[in-house]
Amino acid sequence: MAEYGIRTLYGDAVVRDVNDLTMADGITRKAEFTSEDYEIFAYNTMYVKSIYAGGVYTIKDKKYGSSSIGFRSTFTPDTCYVSTYVFTSGNNPSLSTYYRIVDIIGTDPTGYDQLQAIKNGSYGTGDILYEGSYDDAKSTGNLEYLKNPDESPSTDPDDPENENPRGLEHADLSPFDETDILDINSLPDPESFGNMDYGGVVRCYLMTEAQMQNVAAQLFTGGFWTDLKNKFSGLSDPLSMILSCIQVPYVPAGTGNQTFTLGGVRMENVDVGYTLSRYSKKDFGSVYIGEVWGTEKDYSNTSISIYLPYVGVREVDTDIVMNATCMLRCNIDFWTGDIVYLLHVSNTNSSSKYYRSESVPYRWTGNCGKRIPLGRVDNTGAVLKMVGGIAALGLGIATGGIGLMTAAAAPTAAAVGGSSAVAAASGASMIKAGAVGAGAGAMGLASGFKPTVQTSGGVDGASGYMDYQTAYFIIKRGVPTYPNGWRKSIGATRYQTLDISGLTGYTHFADIKLENMGLAVAEEVAELENLVKTEGIIL
């Protein structure tokens, strides 16, 4: 098997001609790249150094199987796994092992072109690092490029690489940093999560205030509660069937109308809206924040914050939103009131941080649900206590007994004389003073016969409802003073090595070492160097 170490434009690589190589796993591989920066254990474990931008690869994800992805917008080196013949698309290995892509060197994802370039002499002797066996080259110490990445400066002072930051991370030195794009369109659409139809187990009602009033009116009448309690033996707190009740500041999309039903018991003649969905996606539109001076003063002395309904004021980075179109969207879970804001930044200005990219650099969370407390008065407990009290006093119970209240309505006191049975009746009063007889003890017992109050939910701060319902940016700018003709007089900032012959106007130097100064003596050269570093010079 022919093997070459080569130095490509993108770094060092190992190229193996494995066209005829059939591995023990039965898979034939093509030429492939491997990285010399990581130890190659075997063909089952392979790290590659750099990825061909724009290439499409077949990868094997250990969990989900093979898939094809494109680079570089979605690729994440730390999480992607590659098949053993990553550079040949269309193959679907069944191997369970996986590889970690770090980076892939070269312009050809198959490695084939690189191999041909080696064979036809396109690579010079200086580019071919070794030929032959990788193991032999490694054992003899000929793999120079296998050393740890050289982070020390080049010994050649004129080597332009000294002007660039060094390190393992490949730094994009252009002013237009092509960042990884967090594309808002790649986010899941919450409205597409589908039906939340749980077959009658849980139902989400959407009610107008008028409908809510209808429900409330029926909620505390005898008929509905009677039916409910008849259905559920021992049910003492029907409000527990109401999981939550909130108000939201908009109208969620409804599915239709139906009769209000709770616990399978219909509330006749009360129609309310309902929905099978849970999430809403909303758009606030976009705002462009432009520079005023077109200088660093737009950034270094400007602070920007954003007000978001139901969240408050949050700081944002001026670098990110300045000179950019900011689109604000939110996703709302109206079952809970949770809201997630997404700020989507798009910029076509070459000086901006997010040039040519659309990204979602910010997200904030809040809650726009206003809880509505629910409660009712239940006299059941009071009746039971009274019965118990009567028995404890040894007082007679009217023939026929005292019916237990089954209705949810507040009892209406009705005084009757004598002993008479009180039939169990829904909604009817049932406590008759006479039935318990007069007596001091009875009076004392009466004080213990108080209805209980059952509540569901509570009252929480919903201050967002008292605040602006529109989102906005707050921009605070320091105002610079640019005197007339300032650039001619004192120049503007620069920090670069420049040929003086190409300059006109005021020039000030941070450093200069003059040479080939003709007739000038040392004192004059020193004076000139000092003058251009202190007073400057107008060319």
Question: CB-wise, 308 or 398, nearer to another protein?
Answer: 308
Span interacting with another protein, options 23-31, 99-107, 162-170, 505-513, rule CB under 8 A: 505-513
Question: CB-wise, 403 or 536, nearer to another protein?
Answer: 536
Distance, in Å, from the CA atom of 107 to the CA atom of 296, rounded to the nearest integer, reads 38
Angle, alpha carbons 337-343-286 (nearest 5°)? 105
Distance, in Å, from the CA atom of 380 to the CA atom of 392, rounded to the nearest integer, reads 18
Q: Which position among 174, 447, 484, 504 is part of the footprint of another protein (CB under 8 A)?
A: 504
Q: Which position among 94, 186, 300, 412 is part of the footprint of another protein (CB under 8 A)?
A: 300
Question: CB-wise, 305 or 419, nearer to another protein?
Answer: 305
Contact indicator for 414, 257 with CB cutoff of 8 Å: no
Span interacting with another protein, options 132-140, 354-362, 376-384, 500-508, rule CB under 8 A: 500-508
**Minimum CB–partner distance for residue 418 and another protein (Å):** 44
Q: Residue 115, Cβ neighbours under 10 Å: how many?
A: 23
Q: Does 351 bind another protein (CB under 8 A)?
A: yes
> In degrees to the nearest 10, what's the CA dihedral of 343, 348, 352, 354?
50
Residues 253-292 that bind another protein (CB under 8 A): 260-265, 273-274, 280, 282-287, 289
**Minimum CB–partner distance for residue 451 and another protein (Å):** 24
Q: Which position among 54, 149, 194, 294 is part of the footprint of another protein (CB under 8 A)?
A: 294
Angstrom distances, CA of residue 481 to CA of 290, 394, 424: 19, 96, 88
Give the x/- contact pattern for another protein in 461-480, rule: CB under 8 A.
Answer: --------xxxxxxxxxxxx
**Minimum CB–partner distance for residue 89 and another protein (Å):** 42
Question: CB-wise, 119 or 282, nearer to another protein?
Answer: 282
Q: Which position among 328, 383, 407, 430 is part of the footprint of another protein (CB under 8 A)?
A: 328
Extract the tokens encoding 139: 């054992």
Q: Does 241 bind another protein (CB under 8 A)?
A: yes
**Tokens 């009071």, residue located:** 382
248 φ, ψ (degrees, to nearest 5): -115, 150
Distance, in Å, from the CA atom of 204 to the CA atom of 198, rounded to the nearest integer, reads 10
Q: Which position among 43, 57, 99, 205 is part of the footprint of another protein (CB under 8 A)?
A: 205
Distance, in Å, from the CA atom of 443 to the CA atom of 19, rounded to the nearest integer, reads 103
The sign of the CA dihedral 185, 80, 87, 113 is positive
Angstrom distances, CA of residue 450 to CA of 139, 221, 356, 382: 93, 20, 71, 5
Question: CB-wise, 1 or 292, nearer to another protein?
Answer: 292
Question: CB-wise, 148 or 497, nearer to another protein?
Answer: 497
Q: Which position among 53, 251, 392, 413 is part of the footprint of another protein (CB under 8 A)?
A: 251
Q: Does 433 bind another protein (CB under 8 A)?
A: no
Span interacting with another protein, options 80-88, 127-135, 367-375, 418-426, rule CB under 8 A: 367-375
3-state secondary structure 28-96: ECCCEEECCCCCCCECCECEEECCCCCCEEEEEECCCEEEEEECCCCCCCCCCEECCCCCCCCCCCCCC
**Minimum CB–partner distance for residue 58 and another protein (Å):** 43
Q: Which position among 95, 235, 242, 433 is part of the footprint of another protein (CB under 8 A)?
A: 242
Number of residues that bind another protein (CB under 8 A): 117
Question: CB-wise, 127 or 317, nearer to another protein?
Answer: 317
**Minimum CB–partner distance for residue 152 and another protein (Å):** 23
Question: CB-wise, 117 or 306, nearer to another protein?
Answer: 306
**Minimum CB–partner distance for residue 237 and another protein (Å):** 12
Q: Does 234 bind another protein (CB under 8 A)?
A: no
**Minimum CB–partner distance for residue 346 and another protein (Å):** 15
Distance, in Å, from the CA atom of 301 to the CA atom of 293, rounded to the nearest integer, reads 11
> Residue 342, SS3?
strand
What residue type is 65 in one-letter code?
G
Closest by Cα among 33, 83, 35 to 58? 83
Distance, in Å, from the CA atom of 45 to the CA atom of 60, rounded to the nearest integer, reads 13
**Minimum CB–partner distance for residue 161 and another protein (Å):** 18
Residues 108-127 that bind another protein (CB under 8 A): none
119 φ, ψ (degrees, to nearest 5): -70, -30
